Amino acid sequence: MKPLTPEEARIILHKGTEMPYSGVYNDFYESGTYACRQCGSPLYRSVDKFSSGCGWPSFDDEIEGAVKRVPDRDGRRVEIVCAACDGHLGHVFEGERFTKKNTRHCVNSLSMVFTPAGAGKED
């Protein structure tokens, strides 16, 4: 992977958040796999992506073992990080009833890279 840009580092290493509706993957629905921008580990499949209207890419499931949940210090939200490198991805919310799985991973676009179906190992 290439070095992180200053904005990617602010989000991935320092737990920042990109502006809503600004990320390249917010309204992106190609078939493929989303991987960690920092380490390249596969995180999400496009079949689990949905439109939540929140301004960030939303997924209702992750690739098994790819994402860790970490309670925020304030106890109000649950952070999600890459299980391989602990890079900040965003937050997870449950009980909103957007999908049958009743889970929304709200992920910063800058925390991920996309590989189209047929171009990678994790299609």
Give the mean pLDDT of 45-61.
Answer: 97
Catalytic residue among 54, 82, 85, 106: 106
Per-residue pLDDT, 121: 55
Percentage of the chain modeled with pLDDT above 90: 89
Write down the pTM of the prediction. 0.92
23 or 118: which carries more pLDDT confidence? Answer: 23
Specify burial of residue 43 (Cβ count, 10 A radius: 0-12, 13-18, 19+): buried
Is 36 one of the catalytic residues?
A: no
Query: CB-based burial of residue 44 (10 Å sphere; 0-12 exposed, 13-18 middle, 19+ buried)?
Result: buried
Token pair of 52 as six digits:
């939540």
- Note the pLDDT of residue 64: 97
For the chain, give the mean pLDDT.
94
- Judged against a pLDDT cut of 70, whether residue 9 lies above it is answered with yes
Instruction: Read off the pLDDT of each residue in 12-33 and give the average, rounded to a whole number.
Output: 97
C-alpha count within 13 angstroms, C-beta hemisphere, residue 88: 21
When pLDDT is cut at 50, 70 and 90, the band that residue 123 belongs to is very low
Q: Residues near 26 by Cβ (< 8 Å), separated by ≥ 6?
A: 55, 56, 57, 109
